[in-house]
């Protein structure tokens, strides 16, 4: 487990190496800390720059499953 400072340093290195703003690289640096974590981004430009670093996927490629359809009118309360 890395300290916050180590994550920040890694994010700064990513920002410089990828020529990208710190916000996305901070999230990506957090994802890089665990083998089970992936940074999901809708920013195609950032994805193309950062894919070589690993632990990143584009939102459009996330395998979402459909929510079950609720029966009844729209005026009924929802259970979510």
Q: Does 38 map to a domain? A: yes
Cβ atoms of residues 19 and 2 within 8 Å: no
Q: What are the E-state strand segments in 1-78?
A: 39-41, 56-58
Measured distance CA(39)–CA(22) in Å, rounded: 14
Would you place residue 63 in the very low, low, confident or very high pLDDT band (cuts 50, 70, 90)? confident
Q: Does 76 map to a domain? A: no
The residue segments making up the domain with residue 24 are 4-60
Q: Does 77 map to a domain? A: no
pTM of the shown model? 0.72
Q: Does 48 map to a domain? A: yes
Using only the alpha carbons of the chain, give its radius of gyration. 18
Q: Does 66 map to a domain? A: no
Q: Does 34 map to a domain? A: yes
Would you place residue 10 in the very low, low, confident or very high pLDDT band (cuts 50, 70, 90)? very high
Q: Does 73 map to a domain? A: no
């Amino acid at each position: 487990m890395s300290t916050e400072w180590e994550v920040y340093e890694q994010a700064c290195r990513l920002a410089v190496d990828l020529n990208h703003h710190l916000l996305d690289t901070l999230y990506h640096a957090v994802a890089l800390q665990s083998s089970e974590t992936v940074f999901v981004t809708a920013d195609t430009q950032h994805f193309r720059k950062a894919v070589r670093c690993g632990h990143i996927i584009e939102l459009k490629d996330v395998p979402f499953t459909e929510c079950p359809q609720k029966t009844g009118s729209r005026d009924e309360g929802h259970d979510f």
